[in-house]
Structure 1
Amino acid sequence: MRFSPLLLAALALGLACANDASSGEAPIQEGACALEAAAPRPAFLARLGCQDDFNALASEPLDSSIPGARSVKVVLDQFDNDTLYFQDSTAYAIHYAFVSTNLSGAGKPLVGSLADFNQTEYSAPDRRFLLGSVTYYEGPDVWALEIAPYDTASAALMTKLYGAVRQAGFFGPSLFFHPTSQAVAAEAKKLAASVPVKTTDALFAAIDYQPLNLASSIGRLRFVNAADLEKTYLSYRDIVVLDRVPNDISVVLGLITEEFQTPLSHVNVLSQNRKTPNMGLRNAMANTQLRALDGKWVRLTVGAFTWNITEVTGAEADAYWETHKPAPVQFPAADLTVTGLRDIGQVVTEGSGSLRDAIKRAIPAFGGKAAHYAVLANTPGLPVRQAFVVPAAYYVQFMEENGFYERLDRLMADPAFQEDPAVRDARLKEFRDAMEQAPVNAGFQALLKAKMAADYPGLPLRFRTSTNSEDLEGFPCAGCYESHTGDPSDWEDVLDAIRETWASIWLFRTFEERAYSSIDHTSVVMALLVHHNFPDEEANGVALTANPFDPSGLQPGLYVNVQAGGDAEVVHPPPGITSDQFIYAFHQPGLPLTYLSHSNLVKEGETVLTPAQVFELGKALDAIHERFSPAYGPRAGNTGWYAMDVEFKFDAEPGQVPTLTVKQARPHPGRGQ
């Protein structure tokens, strides 16, 4: 067997440095730059002699799940005496684009199609190319060699590429290998000590800044403890610094939390809906730059790599608000002609026009959540619970028969209610209390009793909000309303659940959210999506049907945030509770998983979902992505980033194996610009 000089050098490096503790830790000493300062950017460099060389070729990684990173792709051509290329990663966003343009023909073997290239060069043991990236993580100050999460390279090939890159880069003595998936990490355990490994957990632990929603706004900076939010009234025009991630927050123009967030936390989804900046910053409450601006008008900008905050004048702040305050949102007019209880399969009528039009036709009577759930229920193979819908007409009937609209008119005309948030909060609570005690129409009760006895005998039912003001483009309002469960063995418990769910339209934070968007409050109506409730699920989670850290679409994947069953909600967990977060490359060979964090409610080394459950979830998410594409995705003409935001759980009756149930899906607004 014939070994290349570079492989022999790498093996020698492993023997000579197996006990070299300085490997991956030595200080960096820049050498002579390979690229002259004024020279045009080349297609590649054979070596990187200094930081300027790296900067010239670097781009943001396709997957920015670990923030504050810049990356240069590398190609080692084993056919051509192990020649190494640091490619211009801005001009050539993927390896194939560089290789097919620069290393095909003219005496070199031809490079085939993209499909053939991907099949061979990421998985074949005798592949021509070794492919990877050198990434600099600014927060932890780490240089790392990475290969694709689905790359099946052996430890020997990883060592070979690492040795070549280490020798050709000024950062070589400090270079780590960073495994990008579970499969890569398993193989990396075979690496010699001369190839120091830096895990994703270690990188995250050293990061101070987490960009969540990329945006800029001007507001008054305020410091608030999350525990005090319920007794603190915030203005639409505040930018708030918090010690931890809150369960909820009223409308603000920007958010900074000391505690890092998950991309699908309620407060981040709200920030994305409002297009306002949102970021995590360790020790934010004590940050001297922020503290010096407490109570002042500021401009906050959250970028992919850095954040910036500067003081502005009151006049600038007023001008910004006049220019950027939300345009008034108008909802579909309620359809009160639809009465009776409708089985979920009969809520959305497809076949006439587009899927998007069919959903829009259903919303005035059944609300956004039920309309989207109906599409799920009519998708073959998706595990969706049997359900029915109470149309919005019964909410309006309840409000009219009890004189609540007249009472609202009097509230809206009260100057103290309009001007004082404390008064508004107190009066809205009084209004909700009155709703929760009011009588429910006897005819409606009889209809509901008959339906439950016929189709759901003895089962506790979940009454879920489905309004014409949620799960919609323009005003998704994630978490605005509250659902409740009723036990039919106590009929009053069922009525309590219905009334409390209807009353959640008038929660203070929800009222403020509508006011921020100049919405006519009385135009909001609520249908109820009703199904059997399982209170003790084994796992609950949220997911996106696309990779939120990859706006280019070149590094596709499914994002999943899942927690073990119990009291810890996945979207706003109690302080100190972490969940499993991972990117699932469902369409790549080997279906690799990249874990971004792990649940501390399961044993160390275990995961919330089994591999079989992850695959079951992946199939469902892929089906949902394709199903809604004619409404919101590429098949609807959307050429930008597209994903469905999905809630799910794994549950079972006692003694049975937990299986997947999809709870809802709605279009996701994206990560900002």
Structure 2
Amino acid sequence: MKPFFRILVSATLALACTAEPTTPTDTPSREPVEEACQIAEDTTAPDSLKRLSCASDFSAFASQPIDTSIPGARSVKVVLDRYDNDALYFQNSQKYAIHYAFVSKNLSGAGKPVVGSLADFNQTEYYSPDRRFLLGAVTYYEGPKVWALEIAPYDTASATLVTQLYESVRDAGYFGASLVFHPTSEAVQMEAKNLSASIRVMSTDELFAAIDYQPLNLATSVGQLRFLTAEQLETTYLSFRDIIVLDRIPNDISTILGIISEEFQTPLSHVNVLSQNRKTPNMGLRGAMSNEKLRSLEGKWVRLTVGAFEWSIEEVSAAEADAYWETHKPTPVVLPSVDMSVKDLRDIEEVVDESQGTLREAIKAAVPAFGGKAVHYGVLANTPGVPLRKAFAIPAFYYVQFMEENGFYEKLDQLMADPDFVNRPEVRDAKLDEFRKAMKAAPVNTEFQELLKAKLAADYPGQTMRFRTSTNSEDLEGFPCAGCYESHTGDPSDWEDVLKAIRKTWATVWLFRTFEERTYSSIDHKSVVMALLVHHNFPDEEANGVALTANPFDPTGNQPGFYVNIQVGGDAEVVHPPAGVTSDQFIYEFHQPGLPITYLSRSNLVPSGTTVLSAAQVYELGQALDKIHARFSPAYGPASGNSGWYAMDVEFKFDGEPGETPKAIIKQARPHPGRGQ
């Protein structure tokens, strides 16, 4: 159990209400009124104050957590001691990061009850109705200019206790007339309905409505600033050294040095994962297309910085831009060499040999034959409690065989020796399209076909099959290349349909956007090989989603949880939804008592007041995510010695036969690159 550390949520989309709608007349009518400050200038701030009398007092105590995606948020923790005549303490949150640290140092012993262990403190002070302390935080949200009292998402305080804390804080703070109560989870929101009408409850969506900045990947880069609409991107070629201002995020975008989008994004969109992999800044900014500061720099070389709380942009000289590129252009990536010794169509449970060495070593040893996706799937298949489709892998040998037997490597040599192909993106795009068409029409080795027919007839009779990309240049630590390749479905009852699916999937190695991504990282294109992960497809799934096995807004670990983004089955993809479509996004604190859920947005494709998943389904998913997180820790996480950010990026479905409750099925897991520094 972790102590309360104000949950930090993502301004990703227009968010659905978590409280009763309010009108402008409901907003606090009084501005904060400052009094004489308690802390004199140029003096050391004390451990606590009984009152916060001015902005300077608040600033001296307020913490600025780096993991927030709500810029400008500042927070001071509060403690009300019910044993000591309801004494209220604003704690120095810069000195004491958690409530327990302050309470055990300052309110234990010396005539007062001794504060026990952290575990005992957490168990009683967040869950017991007879608790000694009421714990919370006063947070100032700079964007909407809101003062909010918040309690932990898992705190079970009754409306009576919340009221006691609220009134005490209101009366002891210079901001008191403006103070609202902000519920931080579904459970807290339910209890907030029992509060008196005199306490203004402000929902998460109301807070986000006034937020104009969304930091997604924290980084700095220097490039040429360009303005484009998503529609214009379909016919416009970009340079590696561009920084682009967009009206909305498209499904795909070429490799560039930075993104500013007018429409807010989802943290697990392909575009953002690619930005994280490239270590380039990515942010949302309402009104970006007409922002005066940005428009004044259009076409110029600029330095863009995306920070946790604020962003900045400034003009630089062409010489500075050239020097930056020379210093910061990506280090060439060398891919694992293909293992041509493996030719059998291997059941997924046998893809990774964990009998020797570490899990990390076993994964690396299997990638040259089976690619990143199939290898990680193979680890999942040997993880008890993780629900998967039965699957097998077609090794990379057969892709190489196909390329060699049809002379495609020689054709690639000719293309890459053509100056027009190398120097002109429109020529490169057209030639790669011709190359893919040739691949889709080329013959497939007869012996391989017979081997595949026998496998499908014996183990997957009557099933349509998904042929999924699994290359040595995706789903890898340091180079995930999310969305670089495309999978396809074939029906074995029509064998040509199977061959068509395989060739179309193999051909996606040579998609223009994928070719550009590899070029940006100086990858030898001919070193890329594609194995295939094969299983029955999901023709009518009830829901599809993506998740992180850690809270991306809390890399410190003080507020652990799973981040989940899920949408009902259909045409609206969860990672890049159509304009105007929102999905369910939430933080699931799986390891906290009560399993609190904090919704960040709601799907507008389900009836109002409902969610895509039931509570039982969320728990089912949480069990799988927990097992996945622990399973891969020896390869990528703390169990491997990694003391930094660790999360697995997981794709999943909920699927079931007619009349059945849909069950979770994990599609893939790969290491996540993190949110930047």
TM-score (norm 2): 0.95
Contact kept in structure 1, 2:66 and 2:308, CA below 8 Å: no
Distance in 2 between residues matched to 1:539 and 1:116, nearest whole Å = 40
Are positions 1:117 and 2:114 aligned together?
no
Secondary structure of 1:359 counterpart? helix
Matched, 1:577 2:601: no
What residue in structure 1 maps to residue 357 of structure 2? 353
Question: Which of the residues 626, 634, 638 maps onto 2:638?
Answer: 634
Give the 3-state SS of the residue equivalent to 2:234 in structure 1: helix
Q: CA deviation at 1:61?
A: 4.6
2:375 to 371, 375, 393: 371
Paired residue type of 1:386: K
Deviations 1:184-224 (A, max 9, x none): 00000011111101101111111100010111110000001
* CA distance in structure 1 between the aligned counterparts of 2:468 and 2:628, rounded to whole angstroms: 21
Measure the CA separation in 1 of the matches of 2:136 and 2:600: 20
Amino acid at match of 2:123: Q
State the 1:73 CA deviation.
Answer: 0.8
Aligned counterpart, 2:601: 597
Q: Is the 8 A contact 1:239 1:254 kept in 2?
A: yes
Q: Work out which of the residue numbers 545, 550, 553 in structure 1 matches 2:554.
A: 550
Alignment match, 2:662: 658
Letter in 1 for 2:345: L
User: Does 2:196 correspond to 1:192?
Assistant: yes
- 1:671/1:502 Cα in 2 relative to 1: closer, same or farther (>3 Å)? same
Residue pair 1:563, 1:579 contacting (<8 A) in 2 also: yes
Could you tell me which amino acid in structure 2 is paired with residue 36 of structure 1? A
Alpha-carbon spacing, 1:22–1:541, altered in 2? closer, same or farther (3 Å): closer
- Higher mean C-alpha deviation, range 537-546 or range 224-233: 224-233
- Equivalent position amino acid for 1:570 in 2: V
1:447 aligned to which of 448, 451, 456: 451
SS of 1:231 mapped into structure 2: coil
Separation of aligned partners in 2, 1:63 and 1:285: 27
- Correspondence for 1:213 among 214, 217, 227: 217
8 Å contact kept, 1:543–1:646:
yes
Matched to 1:467, the amino acid is T
Does the 8 Å contact 1:62/1:554 carry over to 2?
no
Corresponding pairs, count: 654
Q: Are positions 1:515 and 2:516 aligned together?
A: no
Q: Distance between the aligned counterparts of 2:39 and 2:664, measured in 1? A: 54
Offset at residue 42 of structure 1 (A):
1.8
Note if contact 1:249-1:267 (Cα within 8 Å) is conserved in structure 2.
yes
The Cα offsets for residues 404-427 of structure 1, whole Å up to 9 and x where unpaired, read as 000000000000000000000000
In the other structure, the counterpart of 2:263 is: 259
Cα distance change on mapping 1:261 and 1:21 into 2, 3 Å: closer
1:478 equivalenced with 2:453 (yes/no): no
Aligned pair partner of 1:335 in 322, 336, 339 = 339
Per the TM alignment, residue 465 of structure 1 is displaced from its structure 2 partner at its CA by 0.4
- Residue 609 in structure 1 maps to residue 609 in structure 2: no
Alignment check: 8 A CA contact 1:266 1:478 kept: yes
Q: Indicate the SS of the match to 2:29.
A: coil
The one of 278, 301, 305 equivalent to 1:301 is 305
Contact 1:329/1:474, CA 8 A, preserved across alignment: no
The CA distance in 2 between the partners of 1:403 and 1:68, in whole Å, is 58
What residue in structure 1 maps to residue 273 of structure 2? 269
Which has the higher relative contact order, 1 or 2, with Cα contacts under 8 A spaced 6 or more apart?
A: 2
Cα distance in structure 1, aligned partners of 2:570 and 2:30: 46
Residues 21 and 190 (structure 1), Cα distance of their counterparts in 2 relative to 1, 3 Å cut: farther
Offset, 1:399: 0.1
TM-score by length of 1: 0.96
1:403 correspondence with 2:407? yes
How many Å apart are 1:29 and its aligned residue? 2.1
Q: Distance in 1 between matches of 2:524 and 2:36?
A: 65
Work out the CA distance in 2 between the residues paired with 1:21 and 1:416.
Answer: 64
**Do the aligned residues in 1 keep the contact of 2:64 with 2:74 (CA within 8 Å)?**
yes
1:347-391 superposed Cα distances (whole Å, 9 cap, x missing partner)? 001131110001001000000001100010100111011000000
1:326 and 2:330 are equivalent in the alignment: yes
Aligned residue for 1:340, secondary structure, equals coil
Equivalent residue in structure 1 for 2:243, among 217, 239, 243:
239
Q: Distance in 2 between matches of 1:88 and 1:500?
A: 60
Taking structure 1 as reference, are residues 253 and 23 closer, same or farther at Cα in structure 2, changes over 3 Å only? closer
**Structure 2 gaps, min length 5:** 1-23
Paired position in structure 2 for 1:152? 156
1:22 deviation in Å?
A: 7.0
Which residue is 2:138 aligned to? 134
Percent of aligned pairs sharing the same letter: 74
Amino acid at match of 2:524: D
Distance 2:152 2:26 in 1: 26
Shift of 1:536: 1.2
**SS at 1:628 equivalent:** helix
How big is the shift at 1:21?
6.5
